[in-house]
């Protein structure tokens, strides 16, 4: 029998109490951090319409009147909202007006969130950017396509949106990401290019990334995103909805294609997530921006890599990093990180000027070209015009 001297017993007791105290302290700090972030998020969203920037208000009222812009807008500077607006209908058929907390299908604006989840798992050591798709899904027929190539659109794959159209017979039954992988394995459609040859924007890349998140975490993608991205960012009005789980997507905002008479019905492609499928509000997208800037989701080193072009700049100013588009003017030290979206009656701009700390969120549920050119917004805010074809200050993309 081992005898424990009184001094040793006292020492062991102190160590145990210290460990318990340390553990309790960590839990308390974590809880306090959540409370502090929640307070910070609530304060960030405090805004009264009477304080709207007058020039921005005039501009959006004008494009609503003259260009038939329909949607919601939020613009913030240095973490403070300077403009919010709602314009038109959530659903023209029922004449339901939009509200500031109306949830829009984000289309490709979902991609930066998918990328954030993948990079978070990378930071945790649960996956490597150098791993290939077939390491996660052995049935996937194409070799040498890495996670990094998917994030930067350099996989060379063809777009599942097109090749599945003639294969999937039940047009209004949701197709899942795993269904798409199975169809790739069965039909082996020819890739556009060999892996890593060049940049080619493609929804298949982010569909596969969402499937990899599911494989690595053992959770459905929508649940993982809710727990690890949306909730920590304070995004209380954000969720992933898929026609593979919902017969009718539970939101009020309907997408309309060019003219009000043509609302867009969701179909089998709305079952796939990762490349799209996030439903959110202008305010929640502002909170996502703040969570990234505050380092709540990813380390700065990881963000720097995500915000670095992984292919040659297009038109000298435009690149794609890891889940983000970007406008870069090195001479003027300009860096604008953004993503656009276009899907089934929705079209959006989500833009973050890193130099001036400006956030622009423009969501629209009427695809009519009304936000194809918003040069005046950039000029009012004193930032570069992010649109292609405007010389040194250029840029904007379809998705």
Choose among 297, 280, 106, 122: nearest CA to 213: 122
DSSP assignment string, 112-152: HHHHHHHHHHHHTTS--TT-BHHHH-TT----S-BHHHHHT
Spell out the domains of the chain, with CATH numbers in brackets.
52-381 (3.40.710.10)
Alpha helices in the chain (DSSP H): 6-44, 54-66, 111-123, 133-136, 147-151, 160-163, 177-187, 203-217, 221-225, 282-293, 300-306, 375-381
pLDDT tens for 212-242 read 999 999 999 999 999 999 999 999 999 999 9
In the beta sheet, which residues pair with residue 75?
Answer: 83, 360
Percentage with pLDDT > 90 across the chain? 80
Listed in sequence order, the residues at least 6 apart from 229 whose beta carbon sits closer than 8 Å to its beta carbon are: 113, 116, 117, 120, 235, 297
Taking the C-alpha atoms of residue 158 and residue 53, their distance in angstroms, rounded to an integer, is: 44
Question: Taking the model in full, what pTM does it have?
Answer: 0.89
Taking the C-alpha atoms of residue 287 and residue 40, their distance in angstroms, rounded to an integer, is: 10
Choose among 153, 137, 132: nearest CA to 326: 153
Contact between 338 and 170 under an 8 Å Cβ cutoff? The reply is no
Strands 334-343 and 358-364: unpaired
**Least reliable range by pLDDT among 11-20, 37-46, 235-244, 271-280:** 11-20
Token match 């005898």: residue?
Answer: 3
Check residue 20 and give its pLDDT.
57
| Helix (H) / strand (E) containing 371 | none
Choose among 221, 210, 206, 113: nearest CA to 155: 206
Check residue 237 and give its pLDDT.
98
Strands 278-280 and 256-257: unpaired
Region 9-33: what's the mean pLDDT? 59
Number of neighbouring beta carbons within 10 Å of residue 153: 23
Residue 5 has pLDDT above 70, yes or no: no
Region 22-35: what's the mean pLDDT? 66
**Least reliable range by pLDDT among 40-44, 68-72, 161-165:** 40-44
Choose among 134, 147, 194: nearest CA to 310: 147
178 confidence band (pLDDT: 50, 70, 90): very high
14 confidence band (pLDDT: 50, 70, 90): very low
262 confidence band (pLDDT: 50, 70, 90): low
Check residue 8 and give its pLDDT.
54
Check residue 18 and give its pLDDT.
59
Mean pLDDT computed over every residue of the chain: 91
Region 121-138: what's the mean pLDDT? 98
365: three-class secondary structure by DSSP: coil
Contact between 128 and 122 under an 8 Å Cβ cutoff? The reply is yes
Residue 7 has pLDDT above 70, yes or no: no
Residue 186 has pLDDT above 90, yes or no: yes
Region 305-332: what's the mean pLDDT? 96
Residue 397 has pLDDT above 50, yes or no: no
44 confidence band (pLDDT: 50, 70, 90): confident
The dihedral built from the CA positions of residue 218, 224, 227 and 229, taken in this order, carries a sign that is positive
Taking the C-alpha atoms of residue 95 and residue 93, their distance in angstroms, rounded to an integer, is: 6
Region 160-189: what's the mean pLDDT? 95
Check residue 23 and give its pLDDT.
62
Taking the C-alpha atoms of residue 251 and residue 273, their distance in angstroms, rounded to an integer, is: 16
**Least reliable range by pLDDT among 29-38, 174-183, 251-260:** 29-38
Token match 């040859």: residue?
Answer: 197
């Amino acid at each position: 029998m081992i005898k424990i001297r009184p001094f040793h017993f006292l020492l062991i007791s102190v160590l145990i109490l210290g460990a318990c105290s340390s553990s309790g302290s960590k839990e308390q700090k974590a809880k306090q951090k959540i409370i502090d972030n929640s307070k910070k998020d609530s304060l960030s969203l405090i805004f009264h319409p009477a304080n709207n920037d007058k020039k921005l208000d005039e501009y959006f009222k004008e494009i609503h009147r003259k260009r038939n812009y329909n949607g919601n807008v939020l613009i913030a500077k240095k973490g403070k909202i300077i403009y919010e607006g709602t314009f038109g209908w959530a659903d023209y058929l029922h004449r339901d007006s939009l509200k500031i907390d109306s949830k829009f299908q984000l289309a490709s604006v979902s991609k930066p969130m998918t990328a954030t989840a993948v990079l978070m798992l990378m930071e945790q050591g649960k996956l490597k950017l150098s791993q290939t798709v077939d390491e996660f899904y052995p049935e996937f027929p194409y070799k040498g396509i890495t996670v990094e190539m998917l994030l930067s659109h350099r996989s060379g794959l063809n777009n599942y949106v097109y090749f599945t159209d003639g294969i999937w017979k039940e047009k209004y039954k949701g197709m899942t990401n795993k269904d798409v992988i199975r169809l790739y394995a069965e039909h082996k459609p020819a890739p556009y290019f060999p892996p890593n040859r060049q940049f080619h924007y493609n929804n298949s890349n982010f569909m596969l990334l969402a499937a990899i998140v599911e494989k690595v975490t053992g959770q459905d993608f929508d649940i993982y995103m809710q727990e690890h991205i949306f909730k920590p960012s304070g995004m209380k009005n954000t969720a992933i909805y898929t026609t593979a789980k919902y017969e009718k997507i539970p939101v009020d905002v309907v997408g309309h294609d060019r003219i009000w008479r043509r609302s867009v019905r969701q179909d089998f492609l709305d079952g796939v997530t990762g490349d799209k499928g996030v439903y959110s509000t202008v305010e929640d997208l502002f909170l996502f921006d703040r969570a990234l800037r505050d380092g709540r989701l990813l380390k700065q080193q990881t963000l720097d890599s995500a915000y670095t072009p992984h292919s040659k700049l297009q038109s000298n100013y435009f690149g794609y990093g890891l889940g983000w588009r970007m406008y870069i003017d090195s001479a003027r030290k300009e860096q604008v990180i953004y993503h656009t979206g276009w899907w089934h009656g929705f079209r959006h701009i989500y833009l973050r000027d890193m130099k001036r700390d400006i956030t622009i969120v423009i969501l629209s549920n009427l695809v009519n070209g009304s936000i194809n050119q918003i040069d005046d917004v950039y000029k009012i805010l004193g930032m570069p015009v992010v649109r292609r074809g405007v010389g040194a200050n250029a840029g904007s993309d379809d998705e």
